[in-house]
Amino acid sequence: MKFIKQTGLFLAAAMITFACSKPGDTVETTDAQEVAEGEGATLSLDPASTSIAWRGYKPAGQHFGKIPATTGTLTVQGSEITGGSFTFDITGLKIEDLEDGSEDYGKLWGHLQSADFFDAANYPTATFEITDVEPFAAGDMVADQEQFETDNTPKAASELSPENPTHWISGNLTMRGTTKNIKFPAAVTVENGAVIAKAGFNIDRTAWGLSYGDEANAVDKAKDQFIYNTVSLQLDVTAN
């Protein structure tokens, strides 16, 4: 099977080792890499079955929801993904822990759309473009690193990862006008003319300029007056 030739680090080492099962690690983030020009059949994204689930954390609580996909394609040769790109609608972001239409929902949705976070007026979409795909080899593991512990410490990377990953996927994630390359484990199934890919991982939101409440600026974390920089993402993609 043909794999994409490595152009750099996607989310960015072929093997990642365990670090004592400590909570919270984010994927390794590097500069943008060359996008893969995949060979093979091109499949269209199924927006109804594709989304990014997000979860943000602060010591006093959590918020979570989904960001819908709008367009996208995957290129497949045989049983291997060789390329692809997806577009997600930031303005269509949903909050699932609050009642839609409530005052609290409106306040949080507006804040997330504002320049404090996504700046959706200027950057209404986010994109992901595949730069590399590698097999998830026997012995590969997902790293967990320590974070400041509260009642709402972010989920560990190993907890978010699919139970039986098949590949490492690397790609350029663009949000708020900033592009960074990330690499994460995914469980990919190619059969009957369709591709289903599932992944879960953490990112450091500040790498894309979403710096409101940056925990690095907290004078006294014991006062719980910060938002964790770690955001958990779970990607569910179907193309056919």
Paired with 81 in beta bridges are: 76
58, 176 contact by CB (below 8 A): no
pLDDT at residue 25 in the model: 53
199, 155 contact by CB (below 8 A): no
Taking only the tens place, the pLDDT of each residue in 16-62 is 333 333 334 557 677 878 887 778 899 999 999 898 999 999 999 99
77 vs 24, more confident: 77
Paired with 74 in beta bridges are: 43, 84
As a whole number, the mean pLDDT across the chain is 86
Classify residue 35 as exposed, middle or buried by CB count within 10 Å of its CB (0-12, 13-18, 19+). Answer: middle
How large is the average pLDDT for residues 110-128?
97
How large is the average pLDDT for residues 194-203?
94
Residue 229 has pLDDT above 60, yes or no: yes
Model-level pTM? 0.84
Coil vs helix vs strand at 62: strand
115 vs 33, more confident: 115
Q: How far apart are CA 104 and CA 107, in angstroms?
A: 5
Q: Which helix (H) or strand (E) holds 51?
A: strand 51-58
Nearest residue to 38 via CA among 77, 88, 71, 9: 77
The two structure tokens encoding residue 147? 């974070």
Taking only the tens place, the pLDDT of each residue in 159-187 is 999 989 999 999 999 999 999 999 999 99
Band (pLDDT 50/70/90 cuts) for residue 128 is very high
172, 181 contact by CB (below 8 A): yes
pLDDT at residue 139 in the model: 85
